[in-house]
Structure formats: structure tokens, C-alpha cells
């Protein structure tokens, strides 16, 4: 079993005076990546929790990054497909998966010419069409999964000393008090020490740690801590879920996490190299187009968009493909391992990411891609809400501002129909709409 280095370090900081390391960020600066911490807890392999260990998801069947696409989606995994083969563009004439829209196949330029180093080089990608959840998976949808399967997320599980064996020395492990080995997750700390760094300058990576806290009892059922609930958040995106938690949901639903290329292509909505899903202006006509932080992060949120934290899905306009919240609200997990230089060698047709992970800042911590930014992103520190922006997270970690959505390839459709959580509607019915 393994746990996040950030979890171990924050425990040791609080009780033993050790420095904090192991941090995944929000800045897109691949040399520092300071903002979004990836947190904690026990291994997803607990059999009584119904989870699946990430080791069981390693590549062994040609699936993208070893993601167990319960459908056996070879159309994505086969990077050797000839580029001249016709792309799948038109939606198959089958009953449409409930809550999903068809993203037609096509070609696009992936990456950002004015972004950060890991967004380069710009390169052409060809993708077959696929279905994608029109919104981020909501609390209500994840609750349906948890109740049907009995699944327990990583943030709900008690960490053990053995979880830190690959990250800490025996002496450091022994120094962890038993009373702090409790389930929890990372939340924003509004009471951080504002004397440590003043307003008006960019916080350093070391200072960023003051802005976050490991909160006991925080998980998807209690997003802000043990005294909070989800009764009024059923239509908001699920949070506090690790990559492994998301993969477990996808397997139950008969879907999979999107590849990074699928995510970016879908987010662009048919547009060409524009900064955001809606164009190049962040606030066209003075109108907020997505849920992000207004004001100077992390000092003051002006809340000009009316959403201090997560917003109900589809609170803003859909992009050209009918997809909501492809920018802001919550970070979204993708299937790909993270490597900052992957674009230099990426296949042209249906790329599914590198075979393993490498974050130069934390080479011993396996990380997957996150996309889209969150309600915590702001221009003075994190611009993750740009279409081309890349982020990465520890596969065993989740925070209060990271969620996901799922995809489905046509080659996987029949197996999808057999999945316990699968839902479809007649293809003759009008597409479901979600209003503002």
C-alpha cells in the first residue's frame, strides 16, 4: 500500500517539525507547480471497500494507461492505427448513453503556443469520435454508485503506518502519533497566516502550504469537513475523489476516464487554438463564462460570479459540442500518466499518453493528468482554466476542488450496455438539455 507524500509530510510537520514536500500544483510551472496539493490516504486496494489498486490498472491489455475500460476499448489503445484510416465522425445509430453527448472525430492542434513548457510543442492529433458526459459527474451520480456498490473512497479510509513505508524513514514513521492517522482530505484554509506573505505578490511554493489544510473527516460526503453535508450539493460536481475512485466509478458505469487528447479536443468544442472553450476573451462583454476565483488569490474572493465554491453543473453556457464546465468549477482527472515532455513523442492517431509517469519535481510519486482548472484558479496565480493548461495529481489523492467526467467509445458500446450502472435513452428522443 502507499499514501501520498503530502499526507505524510503534513502529519510530520504538525507533530515533528519536518518540512513539507510532495506537492502538486496549479500554476502550470513545471519547475515548481505550487498550488493544488494532492493528498492522502490509504491504498485503494482494500477489498472490503470495493476499490481497485492502481497496480491492477497497469497496462496489460492495450488499454490507455492501463485504465480498465470495462468495455475493452481497443479503438483508443491502438496507437499504431494508420493515420490514413478514416476517422469515426458520425454518431452510431444506437440508444444514446444517458447524460452524454457525441463528440465527432476530427483533427486538431493540441497544446498552447503561449502557455507553459509542458504545453509544447503544438502537434496535430487525430481522434475518432466518442461520447462524453455533458457535465462533470455530480454528487447525486456518485452517491448512486456508492450506494449500489458499497464503495468507500480513499479519503474515507483510515491510513496506516505501513502506507508511508516508501516515503518516510522508520524513525519518521514511528514519530507519527496514532491519533493523527485518521481519514480526511485537503481543504482550503481560510485562516492561513496572512502575515507570512502579504497581498500584492505571488506566493512562493513554500508559502502555498499555509493556504491548505488536511481536514479530518473531509470527504465527498462532507466536502468542507465533518460538520458539512451534501444535501444541498446534489447537482454540484463530486469532489475529494482520487484517480482510483474515479476509475472505480467508470468501471461500474461501463465507461472510462478520457484521454488527455480527448479532453482537450472536446473542451475546444470545434474551435481552433482559442484560449478558452468560448473564445479568446476571459470575460466577453464583462460576463463571467466559468466558475473561477475573482479577486487576488488566496487573499480575497470577490465572488462576482455568485459561486464561492463549486457551482451546480451547467451553470454556464455549453461549448460547441454541448459540454458544460470544461473550464473552471473543478479539475478533472484524465486517464493519462503525466510527463512534461510527452508531446514531443506523442502519436498522431488516438494518443493515450506515456507508459509511465514522471514529474521531475517528485519523480517517485506516480501522477495522472488533470485538466480544466477549478473555482480556486485565478489569473494572479493559476490559469488552469485555459484549454491547453495541463496539471497532474498523485493517483491516490483527491481534494475539495477536483472531480471528473467520463467518456465512452463506440467500440465499447455493447459492453457498456451490460455494465451495472449503465443507462441509455432512445436515440429518437431529443437530446436532454440542462439550463442555466
Residue 172's Cα: distance from chain center in Å? 31
Check residue 344 and give its pLDDT. 96
Q: Are 390 and 372 in contact (CB under 8 A)?
A: no
In the chain the first and final C-alpha atoms are separated, in Å, by: 43
Q: Are 261 and 125 in contact (CB under 8 A)?
A: yes
Q: Return the number of other C-beta atoms located less than 10 Å from residue 308's C-beta.
A: 13
Cell numbers standing for residue 173: 514513521
Check residue 22 and give its pLDDT. 36
Q: Using omega within 30 degrees of 0 as the cis cutoff, is the peptide bond preceding 191 cis?
A: no
Check residue 64 and give its pLDDT. 38
d(CA 319, CA 427): 22
Q: Which has the closest alpha carbon to 142: 134, 128, 132, 152?
A: 152
Q: Is the dihedral of CA 50, 78, 386, 122 positive or negative?
A: positive
Name residue, grid cell 493519462.
Answer: 336
Check residue 331 and give its pLDDT. 98
Give a three-class secondary structure readout of the chain.
CCCCHHHHHHHHHHHHCCCCCCCCCCCCCCCCCCCCCCCCCCCCCCHHHCCCCHHHHCCCCCCHHHCCCCCCCHHHHCCCCCCCCCCCCCCCCCCEECCEEEECCEEEEECCCCCCHHHCCCEEEEECCEEEECCCCEHHHHHHHHHHHCCCCHHHCCCCHHHHCCCCCHHHHHCCCHHHCCCEEEEECCCCCCCCCCCCCCCCHHHHHHHEEEEECCECCECCCCCCCCCCCCCCECCCCCHHHHHHHHHHHCCECCCHHHHHHHHHCCCCCCCECCECCCCHHHCCCCCCCCCCCCCCCCCCCCCCCCCCCCCCCCCCCCCCCCCCCCEEEEEEECCCCHHHCCCCECCCCCCCCCCCCCCCCCEEEEECCCCCCECCCECCCCCCCCEEEECCCCECCEECCCEEEHHHHHHHHHCCCCCEECCCCCCCCCCC
* Bridge partner list, 130: 103, 409
Cell numbers standing for residue 380: 494572479
Check residue 154 and give its pLDDT. 95
**pLDDT tens per residue across all 436 residues of the chain:** 334 434 444 444 444 333 233 334 454 444 333 333 332 333 333 333 333 333 233 322 333 333 333 333 444 444 444 446 899 999 999 999 999 999 999 999 999 987 889 999 999 999 999 999 999 999 999 999 999 999 999 999 998 888 777 667 889 888 888 878 899 998 999 888 887 776 777 777 777 778 888 899 999 999 999 999 999 999 999 999 999 999 999 999 999 999 999 999 999 999 989 999 999 999 999 999 999 999 888 888 999 999 999 999 999 999 999 999 999 999 999 999 999 999 999 999 999 999 999 999 888 788 999 999 999 998 888 899 999 999 999 888 889 999 999 999 999 999 999 999 999 986 544 444 333 3
Check residue 401 and give its pLDDT. 96
Check residue 128 and give its pLDDT. 98
The number of residues making up the chain comes to 436
Four-point Cα dihedral 121, 126, 130, 135, nearest 10: 30
Q: Which has the closest alpha carbon to 422: 221, 249, 259?
A: 249
d(CA 278, CA 293): 18
pTM of the model: 0.83
For the chain, which domains are there?
A: 44-153+232-425 (3.90.1580.10)
Amino acid at each position: 500500500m502507499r499514501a501520498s507524500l503530502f499526507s505524510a509530510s503534513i502529519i510530520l510537520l504538525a507533530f515533528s517539525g519536518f518540512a513539507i514536500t510532495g506537492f502538486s500544483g496549479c500554476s502550470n510551472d513545471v519547475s515548481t507547480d505550487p498550488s493544488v496539493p494532492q493528498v492522502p490516504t490509504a491504498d485503494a486496494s482494500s477489498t472490503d471497500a470495493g476499490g481497485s489498486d492502481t497496480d491492477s490498472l497497469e497496462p496489460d491489455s492495450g488499454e490507455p494507461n492501463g485504465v480498465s475500460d470495462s468495455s475493452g476499448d481497443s479503438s483508443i489503445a491502438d496507437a499504431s492505427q494508420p493515420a490514413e484510416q478514416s476517422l469515426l465522425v458520425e454518431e452510431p445509430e444506437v440508444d444514446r448513453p444517458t447524460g452524454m453527448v457525441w463528440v465527432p472525430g476530427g483533427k486538431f492542434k493540441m497544446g498552447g503556443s503561449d502557455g507553459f513548457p509542458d504545453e509544447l510543442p503544438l502537434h496535430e492529433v487525430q481522434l475518432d469520435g466518442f461520447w462524453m458526459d455533458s457535465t462533470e459527474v455530480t454528487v447525486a451520480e456518485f452517491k448512486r454508485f456508492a450506494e449500489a456498490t458499497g464503495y468507500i473512497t480513499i479519503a474515507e479510509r483510515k491510513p496506516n503506518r505501513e502506507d508511508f513505508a516508501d516515503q518516510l524513514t522508520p524513525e519518521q514513521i514511528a514519530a507519527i502519533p496514532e491519533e493523527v492517522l485518521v481519514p480526511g482530505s485537503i481543504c482550503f484554509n481560510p485562516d492561513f497566516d496572512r502575515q507570512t506573505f502579504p497581498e500584492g505578490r505571488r506566493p512562493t511554493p513554500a508559502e502555498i502550504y499555509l493556504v491548505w489544510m488536511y481536514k479530518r473527516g473531509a470527504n465527498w460526503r462532507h466536502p468542507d469537513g465533518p460538520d458539512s453535508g451534501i444535501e444541498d450539493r446534489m447537482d454540484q460536481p463530486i469532489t475529494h475523489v482520487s484517480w482510483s475512485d474515479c476509475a472505480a466509478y467508470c468501471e461500474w458505469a461501463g465507461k472510462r476516464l478520457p484521454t488527455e487528447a480527448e479532453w482537450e479536443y472536446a473542451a475546444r468544442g470545434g474551435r481552433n487554438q482559442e484560449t478558452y472553450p468560448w473564445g479568446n476573451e476571459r470575460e466577453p462583454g464583462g460576463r463571467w463564462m466559468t466558475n473561477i476565483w475573482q479577486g487576488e488569490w488566496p487573499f480575497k474572493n470577490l465572488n462576482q460570479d455568485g459561486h464561492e465554491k463549486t457551482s451546480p453543473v451547467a451553470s454556464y453556457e455549453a461549448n460547441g459540442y454541448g459540454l458544460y464546465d470544461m473550464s473552471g468549477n473543478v479539475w478533472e482527472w484524465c486517464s493519462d500518466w503525466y510527463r512534461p515532455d510527452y508531446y514531443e513523442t506523442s502519436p498522431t492517431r488516438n494518443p493515450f499518453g506515456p507508459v509511465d509517469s514522471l514529474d521531475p519535481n517528485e519523480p517517485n510519486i506516480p501522477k495522472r493528468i488533470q485538466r480544466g482548472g477549478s473555482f480556486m484558479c485565478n489569473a494572479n496565480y493559476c490559469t488552469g482554466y485555459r484549454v491547453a493548461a495541463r496539471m497532474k495529481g498523485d493517483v491516490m489523492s483527491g481534494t475539495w476542488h477536483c472531480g471528473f467526467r467520463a467518456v465512452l467509445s463506440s467500440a465499447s458500446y455493447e459492453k457498456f450496455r451490460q455494465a451495472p450502472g449503465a443507462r441509455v435513452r432512445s436515440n429518437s428522443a431529443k437530446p436532454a438539455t440542462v439550463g442555466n
